[in-house]
Amino acid sequence: MTIAVSTKNLSKDFKGNHAVDRLNIEVPEGSIYGFLGPNGAGKTTTLKMLTGMIEPSSGDIEIFGEKVIFGHQNFHNDIGFLPDVPGFYDWMSAKEYLLFCGSLYHIDKKESLNRTNDLLTLVGLTKQSNKKIGSYSRGMKQRLGIAQALINKPKIIFLDEPVSALDPIGRKEVIEIIGSLAGKVTVFFSTHILSDIEKICDRIIIIKDGKALLEDSIENIRKMSQSRDIEIEFDNGGLSKLEHLIKEVPWVESYQSSHNKIVVKVLNLDKGREELIKIIASNQLIIKKFLVFEPTLEDIFMKVVSNHA
């Protein structure tokens, strides 16, 4: 497996405060890598170090095996970057802007035009390509920002909170574009919006206060959580009896009920499911529904972060 980005004990201090604290990450080539953490966790600072914008206090960074040295431009052709608040020349059209960006990389004019047209199609801006950027919505600007980050055909793009300020429609559009890049370019995707990570990322790291709390594939992280929610709906009555019977049993973490329905959070799925079925059968409780829910990334995130409070 080729590693696109790796860091070893990466740290950044600001006047004695550890914004990033000995961070070790490995991003597989071709993956969509979720860089997840609450606001103030050190995500933007990390991205600025990875892209050579600020110098680390200590530690090492490698992009496709090449060491990143602050002030050197040797790796810049391999990366694309979309900051959290991208800036544009509002008097330019999208096509003019992308051609301008291409010129900064000294891309041949004909090739730059071909790439521009392809990227405008990718981000769904072909019909608006000749409109002034100043007339664009925030979502359209973010899509243009992704196109800009791809103009030099980078091996990896870094996206800093690309959907945090968008409405639901704009967020959906941008997430779909990012998802379409899977396997074509490595994507390093910083966000605090859990549902977006869950939809498109192969692998994630959760950080807080500049420290890594957990890093693994989405699939393995879900498996780490043994607790599950089990929803039981009763046909007529039985809810109060079940509540009484599970009130102090050790395999129940918590429960919530309303009307004829109860959601039981069990500490271990196999144990909880077996015991609940026994209770229902032995007490002749009549149920309409018995559903087991997979843990969401939000559940796991909140648990990991709260454990390191």
Segment 113-136 mean pLDDT: 96
- What is the pLDDT at residue 114? 97
pTM for the full predicted model: 0.79
Tokens of 169: 């429609």
- pLDDT score at 155: 95
Average pLDDT over residues 125-148: 95
Q: What average pLDDT does range 104-122 have in this prediction? A: 95
Residue 63 in this model has a pLDDT that exceeds 70: yes
Mind giving me the DSSP string for 85-144?
A: S----TTSBHHHHHHHHHHHTT--HHHHHHHHHHHHHHTT-STTTTSBGGG--HHHHHHH
Question: What local confidence, expressed as pLDDT, does residue 225 receive?
Answer: 66
**Residue 309 pLDDT:** 60
Tokens 């009484």 found at:
244
Which residues of the chain does CATH 3.30.70.980 include? 225-307
CATH topology classification for 225-307: Alpha-Beta Plaits (3.30.70)
Q: What is the mean pLDDT of residues 99-104?
A: 95
Interval 289-308 mean pLDDT: 75
Q: Are 90 and 132 in contact (CB under 8 A)?
A: yes
Nearest-CA neighbor of 236 among 202, 269, 278, 284?
284
What is the tens place of the pLDDT at every residue in 73-93? Answer: 777 889 999 998 888 999 999
Q: 138-150 vs 168-179: helix axis angle to the nearest 10?
A: 20
The pLDDT tens digits of the residues spanning 169-198 come to: 888 899 999 999 998 999 999 988 777 787
Backbone angles phi, psi at 21, to 5 degrees: -125, 100
Asked whether the predicted pLDDT for residue 15 surpasses 90, the reply is no
Question: What superfamily does domain 3-92+136-219 belong to in CATH?
Answer: P-loop containing nucleotide triphosphate hydrolases (3.40.50.300)
Q: What is the mean pLDDT of residues 118-132?
A: 96
Looking at per-residue pLDDT, the higher value among 56 and 237 belongs to 56
The arithmetic mean of pLDDT across residues 32-41, rounded, is: 88
Is the pLDDT higher at 221 or at 254?
254
Write out the residue limits of the CATH 3.40.50.300 domain(s) in the chain: 3-92+136-219
Per-residue pLDDT at 71 = 79
- Given a cut of 90, whether residue 127 has pLDDT beyond it is yes
Is the pLDDT at 69 greater than 90, yes or no? no
Specify the pLDDT at position 41: 86
- At residue 226, does pLDDT exceed 70? no
